Amino acid sequence: MTRGIEGDSAPERAPALQSSTPAGPSAPEGEFSFVVNEFDFGGALSEAERQRVDAFLAPWRGRSVTLAQLQTLRDELTTVLYNGGDTLVRVTLPPQTVTGGAVRFGIERGHVESIGVENGSKVSTQRLKAILGSTSEATPTLREIEHNMRVVEGIPGVGSVSSALATGTEPGGTIVDVDVTPADRFYAAATLDNSGSRQAGWRRVGVSGGVNNALGLGDQLQATVYFTPRFMQTSAGEEGRTRLGRLSYDMLTGLGASRAGLAYSHVDYKLGEEFSGLGTGSADVVSLYGSTPAIRTANASLDLGAGMEAWDSTDEKFDNILESRQRSLVASLRADGNFYGNWGARRNVTQYSVIASRGATRQKEYDHGTSDSPYVDRRYDFYKLEPSATFIQSLTSTTQASLAVRGQWASRALDGSQRLGLGGPSAVRAYDQNAAAVDDGVIVSVGVSQFIRPLPGTALQIFYDDARGRTRNDGLMAGASVRLQGYGIGASYSGKHVSAQISYAMRTGQGLEHAARQQTWVTLTAMI
């Protein structure tokens, strides 16, 4: 039972679900044996427990058994009824006279008497106890405590969580002692990449960091800044720039392990070189969000969340002659999770996310060369669905294949900031981010990775990307359809303090005009 609490999945495996097999076809020579036809539990089993036990005992009926075999069976039945932590139960074999081949087992039920927390973190012990003791019944089962331990592991400021069982002071009582270790309180990272816009700063420098559990409330303060130093840019965007910043704070709400937070983001840009004067702009976004863990097991997780975002953006063209202003309010619901499985002897994992949102937008367009009044002033509502899934399958001990699918459906034509980009390092890697953006679309990526044994953390990849989508007809521009395809190779390294990725991709299929035939993407991240 201790192993089940600590995350070892052994108690949840076949013994609780499959039929058992008697240890041997016949009793050892000279040892007394008798035929068993029925097993009696005195009506102490629930219907679900009875079904599991009947399936497990099926091979034993009508067999000749010894007392030693019955004692072994008694212990195995305890594991079956334990069922990964649903109940604290012990099966006994009382002294008896076997009549008509009916063997009587006794059932002794226990309960979780209390949960003790040895808290090495700075998170409030009272909050940890409240989460660990969360239950749908009067007292939590071991399975529920195991679920709650996995939830605690996800709290900022918590490192690892482990447990042990001890005998309680009450009859049938069990004390669960939980040990919580701390995580690093401060963290930071620096990133170099070329994932920006070629006209507004292609090569970027990013710095991110945060503070875990600053107030002892399981809270987290995070900040991210990206900028595009002039000396790092190409001639096509030397005078261009992009600056992006985000600050967020979230904490436990006190309702189980649910969290709520507030974030503020700002981005501004300026097009450079031959595009100089053709475009500048900025956007500010304020977000409220919350989430709660719905599932936490050894093989699956699910988080449910909701959010509200307020957008305020301005774009100016031709030295501020043309101006576009936009305000949006967007509410969303989301579900994120993963689950682990097996294909034969090889493990796989599926990661998934679904976001459904509804927004209201007001858009104004100005031509300051003719008037200070807007020549376009419109309002519209929209709905948007954004599903995504990634499946990774181990093929050999050093080879894995992956399939990633990401899409978007919108109820009408959207502003550029709400559209799905089909090019870039997280889409079709043979195109840059300016290639195409659509209202409805899907991106599919297939890849195979080969890990290099002599260089731990190093892998080589081959991949193929395919994206297609459309812009709707009810926007400011006519609708159209587009398809982007590409393939390439890559390499990656992931170490304790440094990670790096590089990919080289080439176009295939019917490409866009005036787009480069290949792209190289590089990302280097160092933990500080």
Q: Kindly indicate the confidence band of residue 321, based on its pLDDT and cuts at 50, 70 and 90.
A: confident
Beta-bridge mates of residue 357:
332, 384
Looking at residue 13, its pLDDT comes to: 32
pLDDT band, very low/low/confident/very high, at 372 (cuts 50, 70, 90): confident
| Predicted confidence band of residue 198 (pLDDT cuts 50, 70, 90) | confident
Which phi and psi (to 5°) does residue 32 adopt? -65, 135
Helical packing angle, 67-82 and 47-57, nearest 10°: 140
Highest mean pLDDT among 95-99, 326-330, 416-420: 326-330
Where residue 28 falls among pLDDT bands split at 50, 70, 90?
A: low
Q: What confidence category does residue 491 fall into, taking pLDDT thresholds of 50, 70 and 90?
A: very high
Residue 345: pLDDT above 60?
Answer: yes
Residue 177, pLDDT score: 93
Q: In angstroms, rounded to a whole number, what is the distance separating the alpha carbons of residues 163 and 118? A: 10
Neighbours of 384 (CB within 10 A): 22
Domains of the chain: 2-109 (3.10.20.310), 111-182 (3.10.20.310), 184-266 (no CATH), 267-527 (2.40.160)
The residues pairing with 303 across neighbouring beta strands, listed in sequence order, are 293, 336
Identify the pLDDT of residue 473.
85
User: To which H or E segment does residue 394 belong?
Assistant: strand 374-394
489-518 mean pLDDT: 89
Instruction: Answer whether residue 83 shows pLDDT above 50.
Output: yes
For helices 125-132 and 142-153, the axis angle rounded to 10 degrees is 140
Residue 10 is predicted with a pLDDT of 34
- Residues 268-278: tens digit of each pLDDT: 998 877 777 67
CA distance 382 to 376: 18
Report the predicted TM-score, pTM, of the whole model to 2 decimal places: 0.81
Q: Please name the residues in contact with 430: beta carbons below 8 A apart, sequence gap of 6 or more.
A: 423, 465, 484, 485, 486, 487, 488, 505, 506, 507, 508, 517, 518, 519
What pLDDT digit, counting tens, does each position of 115-162 carry? 999 999 999 999 999 999 887 777 788 888 888 999 999 999 999 999
pLDDT band at 480 (very low <50, low <70, confident <90, very high): confident
Percent of the chain with pLDDT over 70: 91
Is 24 a residue whose pLDDT tops 50? no
14 pLDDT more than 50:
no
46 or 336, which is more confident? 336
pLDDT mean over 333-350: 95
Amino acid 322: pLDDT: 85
Whole-number pLDDT of residue 29: 56
Assess whether pLDDT exceeds 60 at residue 3: no
Rounded to whole angstroms, the Cα distance separating 214 from 244 reads: 25
Q: Average model confidence (pLDDT) for the chain?
A: 87
What's the average model confidence in pLDDT over 478-483?
85
Most confident of 152-156, 196-200, 231-235, 346-350: 346-350
* pLDDT of amino acid 263: 98
pLDDT at 8 over 60: no
| Residue 232: pLDDT over 90 | no
Does residue 453 contact residue 424 with C-beta atoms inside 8 Å? no
- Least confident range from 447-451, 462-466, 472-476: namely 472-476
DSSP-based three-state secondary structure for 134: coil
Does residue 84 register a pLDDT over 70? no
